[in-house]
Amino acid sequence: MKSSLKLTVPLVEMLVLFALTNTTKADAQAQYAFDLPCQSLANTLDQLAQTSNTKLVYSDSAVQGLSAAPVQGRYTVTQALARALNNSGMQYQVVDNTLITLKAAPVRKVAQRQKAILPVRSEKPSTAVPPVSQEVVELAPVTVVGHNEEDKSYSAYSSSTATKTDTPLLETPITVQVVPKQVIKDKGMQSPNDLAEVVAGVQPIVGYGNAPSQWFLIRGFSNDSLNYRNGYRLVEKYTPRDFANVERVEFVKGPASVLYGTNQPGGAINTITKKPLDMDFVRTDFTGGSFGRFRGAIDLNKKIGDVGLRLNVAGDRQDSYFDFQNSQNWFVAPVITYQFTPNTKIMYEAEFQETKQNGWSNGLPNFADALKLPANRTMTEPFTYLNNFNHTHHLEFEHSFNDHWRFRQGFYYSRTDRDFLSINSDFARKPSEPANAITRYAYQSPDEHQQNIVAQSELYGHFTTGDIDHQIVAGFETIHSLFAYTADFSEYDKKFNLLNPVYGGSVPGKKVGFGSHDTTDSNAVYLQDQLKWGNWRLLAGWRHDEVETATKDPLGTSKDEKSDSADTGRVGLLYTITPKTSVYYSFSQSFVPNLGRDKNNKLFDPDRGTQHEVGIKHSLRDGLDFTLSLFDITRENVVISAPTGGFRVNNGEQHSQGIETSLVGDITSDLHVITNLTWLDAKVEKHADPTQVGNRLFGVPHFSANAWGVYDLPLSIPGKLSTGFGIVHVGEREATLPNFGLKLPAYTRFDLGVFYKLDNMRLALNLRNLTDVKYYETLENFAVQAQSPLNWALTVGYDF
């Protein structure tokens, strides 16, 4: 647990004087595994104390606004401190084997109390750290940081996704939003879709059957279910993901092709999973809630010598507000790390998840009366189902040659197998068609699977040329992706009346009528340099991709192959006006291959995206950050339908421009907030059908806002009581593209949380949709899905 105590000057004097007369020699040989990025010095000290179970005493004012150098490898406490404090102007003194004091250097003599020689460890601090003074001086109020199992802060100092170098966000010329696990926990999030509620400019695309989805609209553009896990590209269009092992989720706005390859121009989403820590603990959570929900989860961590182990296990079952629907889910995620030497480590991580759902629905068809129906209304039948099994394997090797050069080799394998049967309307149905005479279709697939194999080799370097500081990343990446299925889509019944439905039809026989076998193989090299001189920061990156795509009919002989190559770039220039304020401009590009041919049998050109962005970042105080960005994105070579002839053409263009503001962090030590405002105009700029020019992109509101805050109540009771309150507002959206006139109405939703903690026991009550507002989200441009009415979840947790 983290204890943060503000001590007055006399108490500090008593503490130090007591230590001077009661010291014991510290164990200079104890080493710990550290993986600390460049971040605020306060955060590094917190994590260093957590890992080593050492108390650090330091002045709040002395560390405010200071950055720590990265600490990666196995070190003793003082070796790690020496690295972290490099060029920070701070120094440390070892008082005993559990207490170390830090202060600014050179020491300013305020009131000399006593002179004494303090016992220190046998090793010497890095020469980069000023020598330790032997005088005890009067200090300002201090913070004592002890053993801590989790960071409660909502703010993030740096991002590992935006540049792959853990650059401070204040020095990154890109809009980045980080959602830490504390926010996920406080909000009671159940699905990755819920992340859109705490990020600017992001809207969810709900999953089939309302299953947890990783599908989003970012700055108006779909991410096409393309996500990243620990920096590895995964195409998982329908794969649900559990939150049990999630450490944080990072949203990088705008084109990210330079570091991550083929990607739509809205942005990239990277999920960072939990890794072993240098401590032993067991965390348990049990949740019960609306619609018969029950969930159990365990987070276990164990340190055995140079081996770190972590295991997350979760299982849940629940019914639904939809008729006929229920689901079960199991999730297991083991991680093991081994530190060969202080500079070399290896990690293996796996995830296994099985999801079963009955009453599987693909939402309601796009027609005006759909928005007037009860939220539980469905097109499907009770016998429909979805079975999904996913497993991933992640192997990573990392070696530091010295303090300036590091090499990483990683491999990632993911496979999803699924079979399903659903009953729904024709996906091409228009809103003007009647709702009391719908033709339903049986869509089934007995064998569908997705597979991703990714290998990355990256070299990280840090050096100077004259007065310019360089931080580079050079890498090679190869990816193999497969999506294959056999399926059947056939008429089930006619004249189904969705306004007054009658269910109980017969189960269709299993059959296969068509299929596809799509593969993508890509190889890429990329280079990025971050230059720093004075108040200026320059980010420059380049990538070259060679991509081969092939699609064939597994039931026939037809096959189409295509090769594409592309160079993409990114440039960002940032100026730090003050240590707490920076302004920036960035230019970035995206690239996505397009499958198919036009009426002249010509292969389609790749989809291209370009963004210009300007912004300002300001740290109001340590742990409270404000960001304002203005952006303009153009997407070209969009594949669209020609107005006549039934062909497709490759000359569409879409445009998105907008403003995003965010305020994230700790207003006070007791009040933690996330607030976001977005104004966005996303529309069709060019189209072969002139009537579609100016159409708004589907699912994108002009205005959206969200806010969430947790306040620790100042009550004189055992333990700690906190309350949280949130609001989500989403403006009116077009349900389809082309715009057929069906609009999803604006809505405002309120959420509430109450939290209590006493020693190792935790209670959390989350109420979602307090006013029971009825609202809808889109499902891939062809259906709408009512979202959950008022619901609750009660979680009881205990830490061992």
What does the H/E/C string look like for 493-544? Answer: EEEECCCCCCCCCCCCCCCCCEEEEEEEEEEEEEEEEEEEECCEEEEEEEEE
Which residues are CB-contacts of 298 (< 8 A; sequence separation ≥ 6)?
282, 283, 284, 285, 311, 312, 313, 314
DSSP 778: E
Which residues are CB-contacts of 309 (< 8 A; sequence separation ≥ 6)?
276, 300, 301, 302, 303, 334, 335, 336
Whether 344 is in a domain gets the answer yes
Note the pLDDT tens digit of each residue in 75-94: 778 878 877 887 667 777 77
Please give the average per-residue pLDDT across 207-236, as a whole number.
Answer: 84
Q: Per-residue confidence at 225, pLDDT binned at 50, 70, 90?
A: low
C-alpha 555/C-alpha 172 separation (Å) is 50
Note the pLDDT tens digit of each residue in 151-204: 678 989 889 899 999 899 999 999 999 999 999 999 999 888 899 999 999 999
Note the pLDDT tens digit of each residue in 683-721: 999 999 999 999 999 999 999 999 999 999 999 899 999
Q: Is the pLDDT of residue 234 over 80?
A: yes
Please give the average per-residue pLDDT across 284-309, as a whole number.
Answer: 97
Q: Is the pLDDT of residue 143 over 70?
A: no
Q: Per-residue confidence at 33, pLDDT binned at 50, 70, 90?
A: low
Compute φ and ψ for 360, nearest 5 degrees: -75, 125
DSSP 132: P
Whether 422 is in a domain gets the answer yes
Note the pLDDT tens digit of each residue in 98-136: 678 887 765 333 333 333 323 333 333 333 444 444 444
Considering the chain, what percentage of its residues have pLDDT values greater than 70? 86
C-alpha 243/C-alpha 313 separation (Å) is 11
Whether 507 is in a domain gets the answer yes
The residue assigned the tokens 């006399």 is 10
What residues pair up with 766 in beta bridges, in sequence order? Answer: 753, 793
Please give the average per-residue pLDDT across 389-417, as a whole number.
Answer: 96
Q: Closest Cα to residue 101, out of 111, 109, 91?
A: 91
CA 561 from chain center: how many Å?
34
Q: Is the pLDDT of residue 3 over 60?
A: no
In terms of phi and psi (left: phi > 0; alpha: psi -120 to 50; beta: otherwise), the region of 451 is beta
Look at residues 110, 145, 180 and tell me which one is the last residue of a structural domain.
Answer: 145
Please give the single-letter amino acid code of residue 76: T
Question: What are the residue ranges of helices labelled H in 601-641?
Answer: none
pLDDT at site 510: 80
Whether 197 is in a domain gets the answer no
- Boundaries of domain holding 72: 6-145
Query: Rounded mean pLDDT of the chain?
Result: 85
The CA R_g of the chain, rounded to the nearest whole Å, is 28
Strands of the 226-229 sheet, one edge to the other:
176-180, 246-253, 267-273, 226-229, 232-235
CATH number, domain of 752, equals 2.40.170.20
Look at residues 105, 121, 145 and tell me which one is the last residue of a structural domain.
Answer: 145
Q: Closest Cα to residue 360, out of 316, 323, 320, 325?
A: 325
Q: What is the 3-state secondary structure (H, E, C) of 732-756?
A: CEECCCCCCCCEECCEEEEEEEEEE
Whether 235 is in a domain gets the answer no
pLDDT at site 166: 86
pLDDT at site 425: 82
CA 516 from chain center: how many Å?
31
Two structure tokens written together for 226: 């393309």
Q: Per-residue confidence at 413, pLDDT binned at 50, 70, 90?
A: very high
Using DSSP's 3-state secondary structure scheme, residue 384 falls into: coil
CATH number, domain of 92, equals 3.55.50.30
- With beta carbons less than 8 A apart as the criterion, state whether 140 and 24 touch: no
Compute the Cα dihedral for 401, 402, 404, 408 and give only its sign: positive
C-alpha 26/C-alpha 95 separation (Å) is 9
C-alpha 348/C-alpha 635 separation (Å) is 38
Note the pLDDT tens digit of each residue in 48-75: 877 777 778 777 777 776 777 778 666 7
Q: Closest Cα to residue 37, out of 221, 359, 275?
A: 275
Helix (H), strand (E) counts: the chain: 6, 48
Residue 715, judged by CB atoms within 10 A of its CB (0-12, 13-18, 19+), counts as exposed
Most confidently predicted of 68-77, 273-282, 482-491, 609-618:
609-618
What residues pair up with 555 in beta bridges, in sequence order? Answer: none
Q: Is the pLDDT of residue 739 over 50?
A: yes
Residue 182, judged by CB atoms within 10 A of its CB (0-12, 13-18, 19+), counts as middle
Whether 56 is in a domain gets the answer yes
Q: What is the dihedral of CA 731, 737, 740, 746, to 10 degrees?
A: -10
pLDDT at site 95: 65
Least confident of 38-42, 349-353, 527-531: 38-42
- With beta carbons less than 8 A apart as the criterion, state whether 143 and 4 touch: yes
CA 342 from chain center: how many Å?
30
Note the pLDDT tens digit of each residue in 500-548: 999 988 888 887 788 888 999 999 999 999 999 999 999 999 999 999 9
Least confident of 38-47, 256-265, 605-614: 38-47
Compute the Cα dihedral for 370, 373, 379, 380 and give only its sign: positive
CA 566 from chain center: how many Å?
27
C-alpha 635/C-alpha 594 separation (Å) is 13
C-alpha 800/C-alpha 797 separation (Å) is 10
C-alpha 149/C-alpha 249 separation (Å) is 19
Please give the average per-residue pLDDT across 360-369, as a whole number.
Answer: 81
What's the angle, vertex CA 110, arms to CA 104 and CA 114, rounded to 5? 95
Using DSSP's 3-state secondary structure scheme, residue 258 falls into: helix
Q: Is the pLDDT of residue 2 over 60?
A: no
Establish how many alpha carbons lie within 13 A of residue 448's alpha carbon, considering only the half-sphere containing its beta carbon.
20
Residue 329, judged by CB atoms within 10 A of its CB (0-12, 13-18, 19+), counts as buried
Least confident of 13-27, 167-181, 324-338, 660-674: 13-27
Structurally, the chain folds into a number of domains equal to 2
Question: Whole-model pTM?
Answer: 0.83
pLDDT at site 139: 40
For the chain, give the number of residues: 800
- With beta carbons less than 8 A apart as the criterion, state whether 177 and 329 touch: no
Q: Per-residue confidence at 142, pLDDT binned at 50, 70, 90?
A: very low
C-alpha 216/C-alpha 700 separation (Å) is 11
C-alpha 199/C-alpha 661 separation (Å) is 10
Look at residues 91, 126, 145 and tell me which one is the last residue of a structural domain.
Answer: 145
pLDDT at site 115: 32
Whether 193 is in a domain gets the answer no
Compute φ and ψ for 208, nearest 5 degrees: -60, 135
C-alpha 799/C-alpha 788 separation (Å) is 31
Which is higher by pLDDT, 224 or 500?
500
Q: Per-residue confidence at 603, pLDDT binned at 50, 70, 90?
A: confident
Please give the average per-residue pLDDT across 198-220, as a whole number.
Answer: 86
